[in-house]
Structure 1
Amino acid sequence: MSLLNPRRLAGPRRFSPLSMFEALATPHGVDRYLELVNPMLTVRELRAEVIAVERPTNDSVRLTLRPTRQWQGFQAGQFVSVSVDINGVRRTRCYSPASSQRRSDGLFELTVKAHPHGLVSQYLHAQARPGMVVGLSQADGTFRLPSPRPDKILLISGGSGITPVMSMLRTLCDEGYRGEIVFLHYAFGPQHVAYLDELQQLAAAHPNVRLALAYTQERSGGDLHGLFQESHLADVAAWYADAHTYLCGPPGLMTAVRAHFEGRDLAERLYTEDFAPAPVAPLNGDVTGATRFGSLATENAGETLLEQAEAAGLSPEHGCRMGICFSCTQVKTSGCVQNIRTGEINSDPDVEVQLCISRAVGDVAINL
């Protein structure tokens, strides 16, 4: 038996000043102490300071943010997770930057619509002010422009879905893109069009950019009227079958455009970003069983596990409620669940599931 210490043979273990500081700061971590001096002085956490606040409409707020040094930027069309503390609880939602990815000052812009039942959007609309610091994630998402850029691009948006495609338009203009661009936006009327003045200015300054406004309620003004229909594309972008089309908007618009492209065998040329939760379709057959969240059991009713937990008085961590940010992920120790977006069934034990897009099929146990 050797009396030599293997760790001694490997040489002395070296600690960086940061790791030693973090060890001394346990259990709170270095950032908890640094934020007492300056909330933007962080080592690990990514945050952003609100530099400017505008409220372009009665139900929206526009934030210009300066991220901490860990920020790696974004590509036009991607999203970030923004976290705020509301009544002592950290809440997270996903928003798409509307600014150009080529913006040179290191800042980026979010426009948030205050939805009637939106906890975070209502909070930001009412409380956002210069100097506020929010939690931030690195950018994510596959909804982005390809490189090299295609020769023709059709951007379609509706309502607050304008933000990721506005980022694409601003980026293309900043890059000096020479191909054809049509920006087709659906809104109730001109007073509901975010960035209306800038859209008109960009179209006037760039001969290759055409702005087409479709008003769904007002019959005067605008280029088109009514909900999406095939003739709209023929009127404003007859070449769309040969272009790349990027779509973001409310469910009705998304469904109609997708159906049209699929019917024309053009689905591979359509790129989409959803910003509304997927509808929960009814299960085949009666809903049975109960879900146990830790020590609390609740009868299944067909809704998502997140909704079921909240109805039982629990407050699991969550963010986007759409299966994007993964902040609601928990371990399913037993039972069967269905993904409401894909219909996929999972009956394996001890696997991670997203509460916001999963529902119980029979008895389920969640490690919450």
Structure 2
Amino acid sequence: MTRLTPVRRRRERRGDGLAMLPAPEGDALDLPTSILALATTLHLAILVLLRHRSRRGGPLLLLPSAGLAAAPWVAPEPVWLLSGLALHAGWFVLSGRLFAGAGSPAASPRAEAGGRAGASAASARPAPPAPARRQGFEPATVLAVVDETREIRTFRLRRPEGFTFVPGQFLMVRVLLDGKPVVRCYSISSAPEATGYLEISVKRQGLVSGALHATVRPGSALEVKGPAGSFTYPGDDARPLVLLAGGVGITPLVSMLRHAVAAEPTRPVTLLYSVKGPEDVAFADELRSVARRHPQVRLAVTFTARAPEGALSGRIDGALVSRHVPDPAGAVYCVCGPLPMIEASRALLSSLGVPAAQVRAEAFEAAVAAAATAPVRKADTGMGQALRVEFTRSGRSAVAAPGRSLLEVAEEAGVEVPSLCRAGACGTCKSRLVNGEVDFPDDLLDPGERREGWILPCVARPLTGCALDA
């Protein structure tokens, strides 16, 4: 006779009724499905963070994480559940060191010898190729105009097809003034992740920037060219990022900040921003929102002239940096603002033990962000005299009207002279003066270059007839 063994049953609510299901033997220590699902979710969250932090880790990152994510269903006992989570957290920390070079999608386009020589093996990342500069100017429709402060206005432009850039780079903008084309450079303030548009944020100073503020409206068209510039987001360095901004120098740095929270959401980012008064804080609402929503972002604004009660006052100093950057020597810095601020920041960071190789700042980028708006010189009619300028390499010549720079004379003669800033800051147009005398600032080139006849045609004006190697 067959002996019947009672089957233990449990109740499970299904819809509005009760279903009787057999309970597997030995399940007293198993955990409810909801707990297993929660553990799996935690594992998957760690996996996603790993992918954000090191996008090229490949199977070496995915396979262990995927295996650990399945572990709660294979071994549902509490001891194995807790052990799996601890093991996965340890793998997250370890992989951050093993794959620090796995790269973020927006690394610096230039192998800066100084910047990379000081990077440790744990923090160095291979940099992908720089975005190619597009040939020639192309039209870009203005989609929107936004006042960031009384003096800074953001122009949102339709993004040309296939246009790519690295945060920190700038656009060249060509406008017509008095019937003549004039080019100025403006830092891109939007992030590469922005879809379908680019933004430049322009301070109203100088003739060209003033004209943009006065005349450009949604629907207007600007001629743009770029990107250009080597002051870029340090995507090839995994260390915490510190951004030091002075005035309108915030424009390339806000592009970096926007990119950091989108592409590297676990990277610590600190923004220290110095302005005269509360009305001068650009992107104020957005900066507060980013700092509130992203715990890895720290923000401090200090006021040099009109500090509200209870606010930080004075310039960026060692106390401010030390308060907001836990390990100053262990971070990488991007500095943008007026040239005196950049020089002071370099000295300050050096005093805090930060190697010079970990500080990125260039006078040209400061000029681009803080102005790049040198007034267009008009010919001083009735003063001086027209002078002949020879261009020896091209075999052309032209008559220089009074007050015209050699770069302007070359362009009017159809002679190609590479140029970007047109303000004596970038050095792109550097050429050799074959003979003659020019009015040229003494402090833009070192004495050796000046003795060899080098000048910057964009800010050099002939005093006599002369010849230029162009």
> TM-score, structure 2 length as denominator?
0.56
Pair 269,92 (structure 1): closer, same or farther in 2 beyond 3 Å: same
Deviation at 1:58, TM superposition (A): 2.2
Greater shift in the superposed pair: 164-173 or 264-273: 264-273
Aligned ranges for residues 1-150 of structure 1 at < 5 Å?
45-69=137-161, 72-103=163-194, 105-115=195-205, 118-150=206-238
Q: Give me the whole-angstrom Cα distance separating, in 2, the residues matched to 1:44 and 1:162.
A: 28
- Partner residue in 1 for 2:466: 365
Deviation at 1:313, TM superposition (A): 2.9
Q: Does 1:341 align with 2:444?
A: yes
Deviation at 1:294, TM superposition (A): 4.7
Instruction: Give the aligned CA root-mean-square deviation in angstroms.
Output: 3.3
Q: Which structure features the higher share of strand residues? A: 1
- Partner residue in 1 for 2:293: 205
Aligned amino acid, residue 267 of structure 1: A
Query: Which secondary structure state, in structure 2, belongs to the residue aligned with residue 138 of structure 1?
Result: strand
Q: Give me the whole-angstrom Cα distance separating, in 2, the residues matched to 1:161 and 1:95.
A: 11
Deviation at 1:134, TM superposition (A): 1.5
Query: Which secondary structure state, in structure 2, belongs to the residue aligned with residue 137 of structure 1?
Result: strand
Aligned amino acid, residue 231 of structure 1: A
- Partner residue in 1 for 2:357: 268
Aligned amino acid, residue 99 of structure 1: S
Q: Give me the whole-angstrom Cα distance separating, in 2, the residues matched to 1:239 and 1:346.
A: 42
Pair 212,320 (structure 1): closer, same or farther in 2 beyond 3 Å: farther
Pair 151,331 (structure 1): closer, same or farther in 2 beyond 3 Å: closer
Query: Which secondary structure state, in structure 2, belongs to the residue aligned with residue 345 of structure 1?
Result: helix
Alignment match of 2:424 (pick from 306, 314, 322): 322
Q: Does structure 2 retain, via aligned residues, the 8 Å contact 1:49–1:66?
A: yes
Query: Which secondary structure state, in structure 2, belongs to the residue aligned with residue 183 of structure 1?
Result: strand
Pair 266,49 (structure 1): closer, same or farther in 2 beyond 3 Å: same
Pair 240,188 (structure 1): closer, same or farther in 2 beyond 3 Å: same
Greater shift in the superposed pair: 317-326 or 47-56: 317-326
Pair 314,359 (structure 1): closer, same or farther in 2 beyond 3 Å: closer
- Partner residue in 1 for 2:259: 171
Deviation at 1:265, TM superposition (A): 5.8
Aligned amino acid, residue 269 of structure 2: I
Query: Which secondary structure state, in structure 1, belongs to the residue aligned with residue 254 of structure 2?
Result: helix
| Larger Rg, first or second structure (1 or 2) | 2
- Partner residue in 2 for 1:225: 313
Q: Does structure 2 retain, via aligned residues, the 8 Å contact 1:94–1:325?
A: no
Aligned amino acid, residue 138 of structure 2: L
Q: Give me the whole-angstrom Cα distance separating, in 2, the residues matched to 1:294 and 1:125.
A: 35
Deviation at 1:335, TM superposition (A): 5.6
Q: Give me the whole-angstrom Cα distance separating, in 1, the residues matched to 2:223 and 2:258.
A: 25
- Partner residue in 1 for 2:79: none
Q: Does structure 2 retain, via aligned residues, the 8 Å contact 1:212–1:223?
A: no
Query: Which secondary structure state, in structure 1, belongs to the residue aligned with residue 226 of structure 2?
Result: coil
Q: Among the aligned pairs, what percent are the same residue?
A: 29
Q: Does structure 1 retain, via aligned residues, the 8 Å contact 2:291–2:299?
A: yes
Residue segments in structure 2 that go unaligned for 5+ positions in a row: 1-134, 371-384, 390-399, 409-418
Q: Does structure 1 retain, via aligned residues, the 8 Å contact 2:152–2:248?
A: no
Aligned amino acid, residue 246 of structure 1: C
Q: Give me the whole-angstrom Cα distance separating, in 2, the residues matched to 1:366 and 1:293.
A: 14
Q: Does structure 2 retain, via aligned residues, the 8 Å contact 1:340–1:357?
A: no
Q: Does structure 1 retain, via aligned residues, the 8 Å contact 2:149–2:281?
A: no
Residue segments in structure 1 that go unaligned for 5+ positions in a row: 1-42, 279-291, 297-308
Q: Does structure 2 retain, via aligned residues, the 8 Å contact 1:97–1:111?
A: yes
